[in-house]
A and B are shown apart, each in its own frame.
Chain A
């Protein structure tokens, strides 16, 4: 059998498009409706997705309260409680939650994810992030955001402690940031250890991923970017004694799919029209880690930017695209509001499958993290149109190979 791509579905509020909640067919009360999430998880499971994935933020997404109130992202479920509920309402699909190393302790996080792993029969995964948001920092003390390098040093030690706890090693860790005396008081994971996921794309982030990750999420607009990232990350793995196949690289993709291309374009335009300018610009500002973008003419070019302590890699990606395509602030804002810097495909099932196939077979991706524009409609569309097309081409499973997330992903069971 030829290799098949891995697919995750990235659940987020009412959808990945910033104006998703305003779409007539989006489920606007998603953030307070557990039954909606159970339905999404079951849809994804019926389509044989490897996993569902939840982001996480320990605080509001948007500093400007007026802007925030025009988006659906200020409220939602906390992901570990959400996935624990979904664990017993599904039977096969993997359950991956983001959690930050910045405002947690490794013993508690390792224990919580292991509990989710037991509740789900070995389907849990942890997406390790460091928190880059000053809004989050303000909920955890008076010292503000720590520098990028410090956050990653803490993350490296954090990952080391969590991994050793999951592998049942007697702990006794006393390091720079953490001290842990005992092993976990829970039995070993049904899949050996929960799956480790990462999404940092900076140099130090890539090294951490090459050392510790099973799955890497990434944002890449073009084939060349995706391929360069893929090859670079896999090349770093040898230094840590790992095989290239030990990591599955899954770039984000935000498809808008319909029976005809015209219909798909119309759907996409309909969403774009719903974005208020100030919301789009605010969102773009947050990706660029600057606060005064609104001062510049909206139909003019992006100004020169200082180096940021926030999301370095995402900032570079936005700047490069603005220069490459000669986009104004308004155009960039609209572009990024749709998929937040992730790759977007608008078209028919065959067109979407062609694009995914090209990246998968060209060695630029091992799979994709699918980011539906709005829920439930765009997940349904992907599941009913694109998944069968990928299955026909032999590019995606028709049924689960095993029971655990590691088995779905074809990853080795840790010793």
Chain B
């Protein structure tokens, strides 16, 4: 585990993140993610969107769904973590667990799933649930869903595959485990038909939390994203989440709390570095997830802010490991 001396940094790619240059979208995204990798950032968060307006007009200039984009970006990067948003309403848990298990193998252990606890009624209307969900149903369903996905990710032991050609034993059947989940919302027998992840399991990132979701997050999440507030209120939330994790029998270091920061184009790099340093040194978070409105704004972040944070000893010089878990200082990530 890392000693918490340095912060974790993520950047978020949101729908609407566009520079109207007319350049095709994918090469621009590749360049951006490769820049983030050159700056040794922990991860890129790929947002996903359902239709974003009731008028039904297309206003998402990023013509990609997040999990497919993640797979493509995995092949043109080698170190940076790649986290895709995917909704618990739009995917069956078995299919989602399988998609991310596969992404984790494609990326050699750099994949994560960003699940939001916030409801999107609009989403339900396109997924044959015009009636939507009540808040409490949605919360219980989300918790059950996350449990299924994490359970499926652990269905194959790391040493289950034997590849024994002459003995005719491809895998050890004792090391493949059914899930046999029978719950309130889902029945899932398992196991996945995808091998164990190179980083043990894909990283679970939870966002969109309201007060009643905090216990679920403390029990299950690897990374929690929180909205920016005052340093004092952030510190209270941070301490509270770590307490809840401990109460759930987890090492508080096994849950990383990142604060969302929205980047304005006129922020000077020194000011931003000061702001991040203040919040981090106050132990109000384990790091930050930087949001932006334009990719070009990030040039400045990669070229000035990240090096400044390094100069102050607040951010890593280079990646020490190869998996997302190892960047985040989480167990199961192989080399730390």
Contacts and interface: CB of A to CB of B under 8 A. Distances in A.
Is B truly associated with A? Answer: yes
Interface in B90-113: 90-92, 94-95, 98-99, 101-103, 105-106
A139 B190 contact: yes
B75 A88 contact: yes
Rank and list the top 3 A-B pairs by shortest CB-CB distance, nearest first: A84-B71, A78-B102, A115-B65
A76 B168 CA distance: 18
A58 B172 contact: no
A82 B106 contact: yes
A186 B106 contact: no
Given A72-B170, A107-B126, A108-B90, A78 B76 contact: no
A49 interface: no
B173 A181 contact: no
Contacts of A186: 58, 60, 63-65
Contact of A139 (B59, B101, B163, B189): B189
Interface stretch (B2-10, B47-55, B238-246): B47-55
Nearest to B91: A108
Interface of A is mostly: loop
B221 to A, nearest CB: 23
B173 A68 contact: yes
A112 B68 contact: yes
A69 B167 CA distance: 11
Interface in A8-24: 21-24
Contacts of B15: 185
A192 interface: no
Contacts of B125: 179-182
A119 B173 contact: no
Interface string B241-269: 00000000000000000000000000000
Interface of A: 21-24, 28-29, 31-32, 34, 38, 57-61, 65-66, 68-72, 74-78, 80-82, 84-85, 87-89, 103-105, 107-108, 111-112, 114-116, 118-119, 135, 138-142, 170-171, 174, 177-187, 274, 276
A85 to B, nearest CB: 4
B92 A115 contact: no
B182 interface: yes
Contact of A111 (B65, B70, B102, B191): B65
B276 to A, nearest CB: 33
A116 B70 CA distance: 11
A301 B260 CA distance: 68
Contact of B193 (A24, A69, A70, A76): A76
